[in-house]
Amino acid sequence: MTDTERAGARVPDRPSLDGLAEKWTRRWAELGTYTFDRRKNRSEVFAIDTPPLTVSGSIHIGHAFSYTHTDTVARFQRMQGKEVFYPVGWDDNGLPTERRVQNYFGVRCDPTLPYVAGYRPPQQPVQEQQAVSRRNFIELCERLTADDELVYEDTWRRLGLSVDWSARYTTIGTPAQVASQRGFLRNLRRGEAYQAEAPSLWDISFGTAVAQAELEDRERPGAYHRLLFREASGAVDPEDDTAGGEPLYVETTRPELLPACVALVFHPDDERYARLAGTTALTPLFGVEVPVYPHRLADPAKGTGLAMICTFGDLTDVIWWRELDLPIRSVIGRNGRIRHEVPAGLHSAEAGFRYAQLAGLTVGAARRRIVKLLRESGELAGEPRPITHPVKFYEYGDQPLEIVTARQWYLRNGGRDLPLRERLLERGRELRWVPEFMRHRYEHWVNGLTGDWLVSRQRFFGVPIPVWYQVRDDGTVDHGALILPDEAELPVDPQSQPPVGYSEEQRGRPGGFAADPDVLDTWATSSLTPQIAGGWERDDDLFDRVFPMDLRPQAHEIIRTWLFATTVRSQLEHDTLPWRTAVISGWILDPDRKKMSKSKGRAVGPDELLERYGPDAVRYWAACGRPGSDFTFDENLLRVGRRLATKVLNASRFVLGLGSADALRAPVTEPIDRAMLSELRAVIGTATAAFQAFDHTAALEATERFFWTFCDDYLELVKSRAYGERGDAAAASARSALGWALSAQLRLLAPVLPFVTDEVWSWWRYGSIHRATWPTAHELTPLLDGEPGLRLATVGEVLRQIRKAKSQRKVSMRTEVPLAEVSAPAAVVEEIRLAADDLRAAGHIDKLEFHPEATPELIVACAF
């Protein structure tokens, strides 16, 4: 559509922001304004890998912040002539959803229970959660997420996100399950996925393994305990304090893991312990002989410089265990208690007796008990020394993580494969990062990986791992004999259906089959969002038009999870990056400069703000925050945004009321009109370059600054002339310039203020502004005919000084000024002379005199 095509101006008498959101949300849906046109070639498409919002509670203002940023990109690209593929996704599988279902319905899943048809959850509130079958629990998850998604959708529509609602997806729906299971099976067949009995990070409260990427450190109180080991030389006599060799002191915060100790380590450069390399030591209480090794990760400045390796106290223990090829003495079970089975290596009756005093205790109780035993044996040197230190937690968990040994599924991610790690680092360098420094976070994460990606979870509402196992004749499961489905059979649920060639009666029977009981980590599915949304091997035509995608927008704290995991899956499956650009958003901070968080009760919801200020104001606030930068929530910006949207309505009504819609073909002849358009042309260039660099804030700043100058100065300067007080030609020049300026400014503001701009556009244009062309400098160049010879800011300064003089005299702005004298350098005076008639009319000046001066200042003196 060319800029002179119009529908005929239909300007309301009293335009209002009220009701615009409902009106335009409905109209966009009816017209399919944002529906993706798949007839376009890949070169004409801009594809966005939209973050699937976690459906497990409520949207907070941080979501509105970052999703608005993405929407401004989508709207800009659409107006640039691109066909935008902008799906909407809901992340509804995984632990957050399960926890919400448990709390909302008052239930917990017990997979041993039978399915109950027509089950109804207990009425709230309940004192104890009711146990339900796996199938009943999953039905409740599906029911609640469906309800939550409707609420989320309503908020997103009110916010004005220009997503294609016909292209929505979920991370638990059939397309997601098929893609996730297909990807896993291909990883398995290529040797990228494997199963291993290995140490796993374990969350006690949720009862599931978690991945390294899902950890967070939390400061917790603790204590250092100095334990007395002895060199293993001479006979061991519990009654002789000197028996067993020289004393060795080890400080630890985990004395309860003493029965799991398998070695001691010191730094190779630590001369205090160099003589111990290759020797052994005896553990306190249990008298187990353990080797002593030098190792680079031992810290000479920490504690005594001598550390005990337990299986397992922390991730460093895992590294030591793996690199030093040590045995496993596992003492903590999945329930978070000390196991009853005496670990291997505790041979003596005394050791067994002491271990029995710990068996069955929680970690905290075991710690208190073993400290008591150490005191009684004289092997606790001094009293525990209180400290505060970082402790590993699952990001959704309430208890410190433990490391337990379990059979789990892993996916190779470069943690133990250096060539793959280098390839993933190379991919990170190929990716365009906005802002660029976020790439370092990616590289830091990849270089710090200590193991492969643990992708199995011991939960219920997730994508089932598509694997069965053969059952031996003796009834034991052969985990090495996998039964895999054909890809055409997907999705499958091994826990509720048998593999091809077997019957349900053979489940768990000798010669039959057993299902893998686990589900895939939610990130193992979310890492395939480009494939799920893009129709990978479900819709080849669509996939060819959108993959690899153009943009991945996301938060910086999930670079290590979502961004990295998606890069891994795309590298393994497609040998390419999944997108060309990653735009990273920052956090929303509260007035105390702390991150707003739902879990910590510091989050603000967008619904109340949308109701109070309107969506354009909320979007304006969001657009004031730059990519990658944390942004403090300030309600004053919402007020500014609403004021801006209101001004757009009123200024547009004034401009169109002058007949500007009918004057676009008239020549622009007056210097001040051409000056305004010249400056607008520069603003268009600035805003366009900013949007191309994904800097919506810079684009908004340039546009808004010009808009207020346009309203406060230019409109006042040309108002009289536009009404026809200086003749038809001069009026036509003003009206034409006003029409062109309004058209360009509405389009510049449209990505940020979609409702008010489409409302005004509808008063005088066909179609939606969001399908109109983005303004270009070429639109205005033919109107200018060279340089205008003056600057709008210069003339505006004269007008401001006249207004100031009237304010100081406390007279009306319409008060006549008998004489106004302008003193300025000669060149500036010549500029102002070109707009003298407009200045006299705007300032109600009877006589305007000019005085060229040597002073660099511009001074206006008014005589009343």
Q: Which residues contact 348 (CB under 8 A, 6 or more apart)?
A: 286, 287
Q: Is residue 779 part of a domain?
A: yes
Annotated binding site: 598
Co-location of 186 and 257 in the same domain: no
Same domain, 694 and 763: yes
Residue 820 lies in a domain: yes
Q: Give the pLDDT score at 492.
A: 98
Residue 633 maps to a domain: no
Of 489, 523, 557, which closes a domain?
523
Domain count across the chain: 4
> Among 497, 523, 549, where does a domain finish?
523
Q: What is the CATH number of the domain that holds 340?
A: 3.90.740.10
769 and 656 in a common domain: yes
Task: Report the CATH number that the domain containing residue 775 is assigned in CATH.
Answer: 1.10.730.10
User: Do 317 and 233 fall within a single domain?
Assistant: yes
Structural domain boundaries enclosing 516: 182-203+404-426+451-523
Q: Provide the 8-state DSSP code for 632.
A: E
Q: Which residues contact 22 (CB under 8 A, 6 or more apart)?
A: none
- Please classify residue 286 by burial: count the beta carbons closer than 10 Å to its beta carbon, then call 0-12 exposed, 13-18 middle and 19+ buried: buried
Q: What angle do CA 532, 536, 542 make, to 5 degrees?
A: 100
Q: Which residues contact 453 (CB under 8 A, 6 or more apart)?
A: 211, 212, 213, 410, 411, 412, 413, 415, 524, 565, 568
Each residue of 430-457: b (16+ CB within 10 Å) or e? ebebbbeebbebbeebbeebebbbbbbb
| Intra-chain end-to-end CA distance of the chain, in Å | 52
φ, ψ of residue 650 to 5 degrees: the values are: -70, -45
Residue 66, domain member (yes or no):
no
What's the rounded Cα separation, in Å, for the pair 757 and 768?
9
Instruction: Report yes or no on 628 lying in a domain.
Output: no
pTM reported for the whole predicted model: 0.86
285 shares its domain with 412: no
What is the C-alpha separation between 716 and 729, in angstroms, rounded?
19
CA distance linking residue 314 with residue 392, whole number of Å: 8
- Both 305 and 419 in one domain: the answer is no
513 shares a domain with 386: no
Buried b or exposed e, range 44-64, using 16+ CB within 10 angstroms = ebbbbbbbbbbbbbebbbbbb
Residue 106 placed within a domain: no
Q: Give helix 20-31 / helix 134-159 axis angle, nearest 10°.
A: 110
Tell me, what DSSP letter sits at residue 775?
A: P
Domain for residue 543, yes or no?
no
Token representation of residue 88:
């909407």
Indicate the helix (H) or strand (E) that contains 155. helix 134-159
State the virtual CA torsion across 333, 336, 338, 339 in degrees, nearest 10.
Answer: -30
Contact yes or no for 701/688 (Cβ under 8 A)? no
Two tokens at 457? 């979870």
pLDDT of residue 4: 43
Task: Output the pLDDT for position 226.
Answer: 96
Q: d(Cα 663, Cα 724) in Å, to the nearest integer?
A: 13
Instruction: Using DSSP, state whether 107 is helix, strand or coil.
Output: strand
Together in a domain, 269 and 380: yes
Residues 383 and 422 in one domain: no
Structure confidence at residue 595 (pLDDT)? 79
Whole-angstrom distance, CA of residue 402 vs CA of residue 215: 12
CA angle, 709 then 713 then 719, to 5°? 130
Both 849 and 731 in one domain: the answer is no
Token duo for residue 672: 């001040």
Q: How far apart are CA 457 and CA 409, in angstroms?
A: 9
Q: How far apart are CA 516 and CA 503, in angstroms?
A: 16
Q: Are residues 198 and 219 in the same domain?
A: no
Q: Is 67 inside a domain boundary?
A: no
Could you give the CA distance from residue 835 to residue 818 in angstroms, rounded to a whole number? 18
* Cis preceding linkage at 548, omega within 30: yes
Same domain for 361 and 491, yes or no, is no
Q: What does the pLDDT read at residue 299?
A: 94
Do the beta carbons of residue 554 and residue 585 sit within 8 Å? yes
143 three-class SS: helix
Single residue among 478, 507, 523 that ends a domain in this structure = 523
Which residue numbers belong to the known binding site for ATP? Answer: 598
Instruction: Identify the segments of the chain with pLDDT beneath 50.
Output: 1-4, 234-242
CATH of the domain at 850: 3.30.2320
